[in-house]
A = this chain, B = another copy of it.
């Protein structure tokens, strides 16, 4: 027989999950109520409103999907694409590649726009792809590439999609609440995120928002969405307006409690203040890293404050260093992902993890471990 699991108190400075505050953990532990309870329905309405605030949108269809960010990505593609459709997909890291997988598994064709991992998406290449493939229905890209720590110019890319009559799908898993993300002002059509990054809630939920154009595209599909679980036509019946909600699946009630509390904390701080905190702490961290002789992998204008890609110095053993940080300092930093494995570390400053205490802990620990 096993015994209960008591996790250690880690400092989470990887690519997510980030530190979950005691407020959010306490919310998660409140008594479970039914997913159709009138009081839960009120909570759902408040979560929708708070997500609209976080996404800077008035989109009616703005909800938390009952599954992780990867399912948010899949929801975007399966709802918008039909077999035979073409999508332009920008790849400058791992998650652009995952978008390609999603397009193809929907029976669509992905036109790839490739950029070096570590660079932002190049709008000029995208313009050429749009010119060559005016029949594409979708332009998809990652706003904040979690695998490389790079921001791309979402405003410009969404504008290009709109001018070309295409809908945009934006991966905002790592950007939401960490850097500016103006869904309405930029004209983004489907934007999804995760709860375990800059929102610092429990992992496992995917906030997502759909523009009216996206909703219309879903409503006028020729074929049913291939996923029953992610079919927005059905999910709207549960998360839609009015007190009567149609049963679709059992919502992850306690994870929604936690998300609500995390969103309240964001509202209390304010979006601009949150962005400023991420930026300011990022500058403190990068200065400290520089003093340790560590180099950032991304050029300054495109760095994500919430996720800092650091080049592993020659001669240092990637796994040994990360293990030492974890075992001696209870500090998690991220490994490189995909082709960057072994070459970079990813130091997160996301949401509740983004504070000076964590930065000092991280710099002290790195200094000690790199000297060993």
Contacts and interface: CB of A to CB of B under 8 A. Distances in A.
Interface of A: 1-10, 12, 14, 16-17, 19-20, 25-35, 37-40, 43, 46, 49-50, 66-71, 73-74, 98, 101-102, 104-106, 194, 196, 202-204, 224-229, 247-255, 257-258, 260-261, 264, 267-268, 326, 332, 337
B50 A2 contact: yes
B7 A35 contact: no
B20 A229 contact: no
Contacts of A3: 264
Which of A66, A102, A258 lies at the interface centre, i.e. has the most chain B CB atoms within 10 A of its CB? A66
A203 B32 contact: yes
Given A34-B12, A255-B204, A229 B264 contact: no
Given A2-B267, A204-B254, 18 more contacts: A1-B264, A4-B261, A5-B43, A6-B30, A7-B33, A7-B40, A8-B33, A9-B31, A12-B33, A26-B29, A28-B28, A29-B29, A68-B251, A71-B71, A105-B225, A202-B252, A226-B226, A254-B258
Contacts of A46: 2, 5
A191 B40 CA distance: 30
Q: A interface, by DSSP: helix, strand, loop or mixed?
A: loop
A260 B5 contact: yes
Contacts of A106: 226
A343 to B, nearest CB: 16
Contact of A203 (B6, B69, B250): B250
Give the top 9 A-B pairs by smallest Cβ distance, nearest first: A204-B252, A29-B29, A70-B249, A67-B67, A20-B32, A25-B29, A203-B250, A71-B229, A202-B254
A37 B333 CA distance: 11
Contacts of A98: 228
B249 A69 contact: yes
